[in-house]
Structure 1
Amino acid sequence: MLANSYLIADSGSTKTDWVIISPGAETKSFQSAGINPFYQTVEEIIPVLETQVMPHLGGAVEKVFFYGAGCADEKSSRPVTNALSHCLPAASTIEVASDMLGAARGLCGHTPGLACILGTGANNAFYDGRNIVRSIGSLGFWLGDEGSGSYLGKTLVVHYLQNELPADLHADFAERYPEINRLNVLDHAYKKPYPNRYFATFSQFIAENIKHPFMHNLVENAFGLFIEKYILKHENAVDYPVHFTGSIAFYYQDILKNILKKKGLKAGGILKSPLEGLVQYYS
């Protein structure tokens, strides 16, 4: 690997997408487990880097640009910065910033717009073409994240446990997840690590049954909440394109575009990952 290679990461709570840019060589992409300093210490992050990232590098990396969930500022990002410094001591530059800034740069490039994340978690920001100017901060999994995969999954499970699903969906869910009961869910929610990841796994059941009116309405209502609580609070939101990244936005983009239209907003790009745009941004 050439010494002036760039390593760029877009990390959520569930997974991290990585790309290596080397002059004169093909761009290489791979994935690792999610890295989030809100939930992980530097001692927990280092093994992820050593086992799931380092084997892909094959040599020195000059610059590292890591955009991740939980990396709101220098203090909160420190576990990631320290872990990267430990594993990549030859790197001359290691920059760690929020996944929101990464999404904004990947989605908008150098053009102003509204950038949003709808993956395991949810976030939003107004971007001026270089930096985030304003963000209507989400309160995280327990108190916010409307529209995210964890929110959708949590909502579905609550409907199931409270016998609010239509009979056909209730039967299908019970067959698919026979281990699900009140005590099991409460254990995952309050005692086990990464409850956001746990509940996000149930969004797959929603995707498989999205043609069912109940599921369609569940997703539509969640997106409507996200837009009302976050997007419409940005001044002059109707004047800018609203871009999205994340698996939830990507796979439910038809519903998302329809809700944006109903709210009088302009749909921008909808990408599964902002990495392609970030490669262009740094190129």
Structure 2
Amino acid sequence: MTEYKPSELNADAAETYKKDGIVCIRNAFSPEEVEFLRQVAAQDMAAPSKMSEDATRDGSGRFFSDTFVWKHIPELERIVNGSRAADYACALLQSKKVNLIFDQFLIKEPGTSTPTVWHHDQTYWPVAGDQVCTLWIALDPVTKETGAVEYVKGSHRWGQRYKAESFVDKDRYKEDLPPVPDIEAMRGKLDIAMYEMQPGDATLHHGLTVHGAPGNSRTDQTRRAYVMRFAGEDVTYNPRPNLQRMHSDPGIPFGAPLDCDLFPVLRQ
């Protein structure tokens, strides 16, 4: 079983997450929370922050991304601190503490041909540790046609970190790591999970779980997701050159816990 209700996020669910690196949480957020996030997404797209990027590659449509949105739109405190998001991370990481690394909107407008390339998350960020995860919240119906994410189950335990793959500039990241393997050529040998989702459903995956998604081939449906990146109690600050841009300098030393204004503690 890899799909759970919020009330089912017990030790068995945590063991599934530990083994597979991915779980799906059905009805994780209320219709009111989803509608609020849709309104904030529209506000952010109309007036993006300095952290926003257009990840659209050659092709049609628009692939919009903005990070550290809670720093740009303070009303998101309602979700960052007021929802059950951090509780889900605590339960599945089995951590008594979680920090928010950052939040993000990932939006593929109708007819966006740009795929989300196969990658894993953690090598983009200045963190070290095992308790790193991403909560991906669906704000629209998510299907294969609209760009449902696929996850390679167990890939977080391959014992290999892969070079970050830029969605915008292929030469942006230069860390001396091997590229992600050719997942498409390996499909027949891998256990790949894909969840069709309704608004309010969410997935939570490990920072080293390899995943990717097609473009949005629908012409009548946007694929909006609000994403939160969490760190548990074993995670420390690990700055390295050529990483994903952070909103600001966190002001903490190498090897320190993340606890600071940039990476706030949400549960302890």
TM-score normalised according to structure 1 size: 0.24
Higher relative contact order (CA 8 A, sep 6+): 2
Higher helix fraction (1 or 2): 1
- Which protein shows a greater Rg? 1
Structure with greater proportional strand content: 2
